[in-house]
Amino acid sequence: MFPILEKKEMAERTICQLKIHAPDIAKKVKPGQFVILRVNEAGERIPLTVADKNPLEGTIVIIFQIVGKTTALLRKLKVGQNIKDVVGPLGQPTEIEKVGKVVCIGGGTGVAILHHLTKGLFEIGNEVISIIGARTKSLIILEQEMKAISNELVVCTDDGSYGYHGFVTQALQEAIKKNPDIKKAVAIGPVPMMKATVDVTRDPYIPTIVSLNPIMVDGTGMCGVCRCTVDGKTKFACVDGPDFDGHKVDFDELQQRLCTYLGQEKESLLFSIK
């Protein structure tokens, strides 16, 4: 059992943050790694990236968007209640190296994952340009936190309600024009956003790391539901990733596989409110 110590609604009814007591995981987890959790006995296993950790108090932080039954259940949990199973750390940590100037791009709740990485990149002395975006102002998360670990921060909204009016990819194009010396890009967010980012960084070429979000069950490499095609080869995102070279990922296949259970996801949600 994994008790919840703190809970925060980051964007009303959409994005939620939980601090969970999981001392062994807190000691080991590195930026880019994730956990799999199961809320209760009848629950499903879902993957969530660890957004932050505090090994001294033995806690990890997860941030999630409420998109279906399990995330809704998770949001309903109160401080002091438990999550039945939390397993991790899983996946390969993101390679954090000093390259000079990097650009970190995050969309929606992807910013939660990006934050942990950006912190790592910033702390070892990279010059960090961060571009974060969401549909509208109320869905922007971690703005202050990102500001503290970036040399430059651009906030975008699709509807122009806050900051730069447009997609993160548009802001990225401008940033590349201004900073031809960008050595590396990291992009985390919905599949269409990552795909569009990679289209931008293809010419002029900037190595781009993406964090993939396929369906997972066990998260330990035993089932292959999270398989993705990278550079023409099948990879398991849970053990070989979730980070991959964005220029080599088959995003269309990923998007297609993500739709496998759309019907049943809806059915499950409707059944739970009946």
Partner 1 sequence: MPEQDPFMRVKNFDEVPLGLRADQAKLEANRCLQCPTPYCVEGCPVNIDIKGFIDKIREDDLMGAIKIIKDTNSLPAVCGRVCPQEIQCESKCILGRTEHPVAIGNLERFVADYERAMGVQIPTRPKPTGKNVAIIGSGPSGLTMAAEMARAGHGVVVFEALHELGGVLVYGIPEFRLPKEIVKKEIDYLKKLGVVFKTNHVIGKLFTVEELLNELKFDAVYIATGAGLPRFMKIPGENAPGVFSSNEYLTRMNLMKAYKFPDYDTPNPRARRMVVVGGGNVAMDCARTGLRAPGTEKVMLVYRRARNQMPARSEEIHHAEQEGVEFHLLTNPVKVIANRRGWVCGLECIKMELGEPDDSGRRRPIPIEGSEYVLDCDMVVIAIGTGPNEIMFQEGCEVKRNKWGYIDADAETGKTTMEGVWAGGDIVTGSATVILAMGAARQAAKEINEYLNNK
Q: How far is the CB of 222 from partner 1 (least distance, A)?
A: 4
47 is a contact residue toward partner 1 (CB under 8 A): no
Q: Which of 6, 95, 97, 253 binds partner 1 (CB under 8 A)?
A: 253
Does residue 199 touch partner 1 according to CB under 8 A?
no
Number of residues that bind partner 1 (CB under 8 A): 43
Among 55, 82, 92, 137, binds partner 1 (CB under 8 A): 92
From the list 117, 102, 113, the residue with the least C-alpha distance to 34 is 113
Q: Is 86 in the site for partner 1 (CB under 8 A)?
A: yes
Give the shortest CB-10-to-partner 1 separation in angstroms. Answer: 24
- Segment 202 to 231, residues that bind partner 1, using CB under 8 A: 217-218, 220-225, 227-229
Binding of partner 1 at residue 72 (CB under 8 A)?
no
Figure out which of the listed residues 31, 32, 47, 89 binds partner 1, where binding follows CB under 8 A.
Answer: 89
Contacts to partner 1 by CB under 8 A = 24-25, 28, 38, 42-45, 69-70, 84-90, 92, 217-218, 220-225, 227-229, 234, 239, 253, 256-257, 259-261, 264-265, 267-268, 271-272
